[in-house]
Amino acid sequence: MSQAFDIAVIGAGPGGYVAAIRAAQLGFKVACIDEWSNAAGGAAPGGTCTNVGCIPSKALLQSSEHYEQAAHHFAEHGIGVKGLSMDVGTMIARKDEVVKQNNDGILYLFKKNKITFFHGRGSFVSSNDEGFELAVTGKKPESITARQVIVATGSSARALPGVPFDEVNVLSNDGALRVGATPKTLGVIGSGVIGLEMGSVWRRLGADVTILEGLPTFLGAVDQHIAKEAHKAFTKQGLKIELGVKVGEIKSTKKNVSIAYTNAKGEAQTLVVDKLIVSVGRVPNTTGLNAEAIGIKLDERGAIEVDDKCRTNVAGVWAVGDVVRGPMLAHKAEEEGVAVAERIAGQHGHVDFDLVPWVIYTSPEIAWVGKTEQQLKESGRAFKAGSFPFLANGRARALGDTTGMVKMLADAETDEILGVHIVGPMASELISEACVAMAFKASSEDIARICHAHPSLSESTKEAALAVDKRTLNF
Ligand code: FAD
Ligand code: NAI
């Protein structure tokens, strides 16, 4: 006998579990199905983000940053550390505990919102005028029906052809987050977000890290003023980043991994490392969903095709997050999940895709929202630019972290803010002011006229706004 629901959500990552909560708040009877298991075989909702993505990577970034501070920067504060030691096992165990707290938090939220959670794989069986039949396979197979379905099955790491992840020597994001001891040498293919974050973790913990990037430009999607500053900082820290390479054969043995490649000058090279992280993008998860049973259309990348409202081609089936087009970011998935629940309830759920911020949690952090200088030039839109270096900010000097800047771009005529780009301390927090300002269509003058607390890093945002009008006060 099938259990009947108003809405079934497949996937309990940030897109799915948030959609389920919002739908329950709106009065629907909701089921959420997720197959992720922890080491003990128990349910581990939260998806990539909670289990092998945002949360564990930030836990390790924090631990490794503490170590780096103690080893290299405490002395300038007059703090001596004798016999400093580091235990990777403890760091990994702490990271696992942080993950578990988040898994448990989501299970609690399901209970609190009266959402029925199924631990197992969800797949489409059939559809009729009443809705959809879904099968849940797992320890306890179930059959459920729902009038509407939200697919939030996320994404998985993309492997290079012929180089499967063994998670011992050749690592995806999953293996990269549970290496038992610092490798002496670490190779990374792809200097995107994962490459830089995970490369930073293991460099701080003592690995000699080389990143091989196919494109000739470092962080091509980032404002190039900011990307150049970040590249300088990473190189100074000891991250070796080779751009414009062509990766050839990769051989993994018990002892090491060798990567044959051609460098930007066309010279044949071989990199031999203890471990290799492959971070060359992610692929949408649709395997096992049996989307074909009800005729859901996929695009050429294997992502579920949706319109700007997250509607698939099958009425009553919606899809959100990494499994659809757009940036693969947790907050984008959440926004879409909330909007879909509201649309099912007849409300006007809304996601502004132009205002989805990006953050790379390296040190310095990189964060941006809106258009880059290169995008504005390409589109021919006239703009004014202003930037302010953290070197001239009192709080940054007191923190001892003066790398980077805030850069603001505003329309040449109307002064509307079109983009804000930050590289430097706490960029992840500072970017929110820019998001709020841009959501309210603020001008750079609006920010320049708002009182910002002193001393604070956010004064750099105000100064960047003043710089748009060529009138910084402190630089
Ligand atoms: P997912 O989080 O992938 O969740 C999908 C869930 O669906 C999974 O639990 C999966 O097991 C389950 N599932 C799949 N198919 C089925 C099925 N048929 N039946 C049942 N369950 C199924 N983003 C940020 O915004 N900030 C960050 O700092 C950040 N850091 C990251 C670090 C790393 C190392 C990685 C890999 C990613 C990071 N991301 C970050 C990206 C972020 O994790 C994703 O954008 C986000 O998790 C997408 O959410 P989602 O709900 O679409 O999918
Ligand atoms: P990515 O798309 O960020 O970077 C992949 C990089 O690999 C690109 O620079 C690309 O040019 C390069 N590349 C691709 N094929 C290559 C090849 N054969 N040889 C050499 N270089 C090659 O992908 P990544 O780092 O795997 O991360 C996936 C996604 O996960 C991100 O795009 C982001 O959406 C999400 N993420 C977000 C984070 C955050 O918000 N802080 C953190 C980590 C991941």
Query: Tens of pLDDT along 349-367?
Result: 999 999 999 999 999 999 9
CATH number at residue 239: 3.50.50.60
CA distances from 434 to 273, 322, 430 (A): 41, 25, 7
Q: What is the rounded distance in angstroms from the CA atom of residue 69 to the CA atom of residue 138?
A: 45
474 lies in a domain?
no
Determine whether 331 is an active site residue: no
What is the band of 130 on the pLDDT scale with cuts at 50, 70, 90? confident
For residue 38, the CA-to-ligand 1 centroid distance in Å is 15
Task: Note whether residue 220 is domain-resident.
Answer: yes
Give, in degrees to the nearest 5, the angle at Cα 454 between 452 and 455: 130
Question: For residue 1, is pLDDT > 80?
Answer: no
pLDDT of residue 62: 98
In which band, very low, low, confident or very high, does the pLDDT at 253 lie, cut at 50, 70 and 90? very high
Phi, psi angles (nearest 5°) of residue 197: -70, -50
What is the Å distance from ligand 1's center to 119 Cα? 16
Task: Give the pLDDT band (50/70/90) at residue 458.
Answer: very high
Strand, helix or coil for residue 291: helix
Q: What pLDDT sits at residue 276? A: 98
Name the residue of 61, 173, 212, 282 whose CB sits within 8 Å of the most ligand 2 atoms, as the mutation to test its pocket.
282
Domain containing 113 equals 3-157+283-353
Distance 194 CA to ligand 2 centre (A): 6
Mean pLDDT along residues 86-94: 97
- State the ligand closest to the CA atom of 13: 1
Question: Beta-carbon neighbour count of residue 85 at 10 Å?
Answer: 7
Question: Is the same domain home to 28 and 147?
Answer: yes
Ligand 1 cavity residues, CB under 6 Å: 10-16, 33-36, 47-49, 53-54, 57, 121-123, 152-155, 173, 194, 285, 288-289, 321-323, 328-331, 333, 361
449 and 343 in a common domain: no
In angstroms, the CA 236 to CA 457 distance is 23
Residue 322 DSSP code: G
Centroid of ligand 1 to alpha carbon of 13 (angstroms): 5
Give pLDDT, residue 2: 85
Last residue of a domain, one of 298, 318, 353: 353
Rounded Cα–Cα distance for residues 190 and 247 (Å): 10
The neighbouring-strand residues paired with 212 are 189, 242
Claim to verify: residue 311 and residue 391 sit in the same structural domain: no
CATH number of the domain within which 431 lies:
3.30.390.30
Whose alpha carbon is nearest atom 45 of ligand 1? Answer: 329
**Ligand 2, atom 7: closest residue by C-alpha:** 190
Strand-by-strand arrangement of the 417-424 sheet: 358-360, 365-370, 417-424, 405-411, 383-389
Global pTM exceeds 0.75: yes
Q: Do residue 100 and residue 186 come from a single domain?
A: no
Number of domains observed in the structure of the chain: 3
Structural tokens at position 137: 């396979």
Q: What is the rounded CA–CA span in Å between residue 43 and residue 37?
A: 5
Please pick, among 72, 73, 350, 454, the residue that the annotation labels catalytic: 454
DSSP conformation letters of 334-361: HHHHHHHHHHHTTS-----GGG--EEE-
Whether residue 149 is found in the same domain as residue 273: no
Identify whether 430 is part of a domain. yes
Residues 372 and 245 placed together within one structural domain of the fold: no
Q: Tell me the HSE value of 179 on the side-chain side, using a 13 A CA sphere.
A: 24
Query: Same domain for 102 and 247?
Result: no
Q: Which atom of ligand 2 is nearest to the CA of 330?
A: 40
List beta partners, residue 241: 211
In a domain, 359, yes or no: no
